[in-house]
A = this chain, B = another copy of it.
Amino acid sequence: MPSTPITGNQPEQVINQDLEIESIDFFVRMMGMLGMPRSVGEIYGLLYFSPSPLPMDKIVSRLGISLGSASQGLKTLRSLKAVRTSYVPGDRRDHYLAETEFRRLFANFIKEEIMPHMESAKERIERMENALPVESEESEEFYKIRIEKLKRLTRAGGRLLPALAGLLKF
Contact = CB atoms under 8 A, between A and B. Distances in A.
Given A22-B128, A114-B33, A156-B168, A48 B121 contact: no
Q: Kindly state the interface size class of chain A when it binds its partner.
A: 35 or more
Given A16-B143, A132-B19, A146-B48, A125 B168 contact: no
Contacts of A133: 16
Contact of A102 (B23, B26, B149): B149
Contacts of A156: 168-170
A128 B48 CA distance: 13
A170 to B, nearest CB: 5
A25 B169 CA distance: 36
A66 to B, nearest CB: 26
A88 interface: no
A170 B146 contact: no
B124 A26 contact: yes
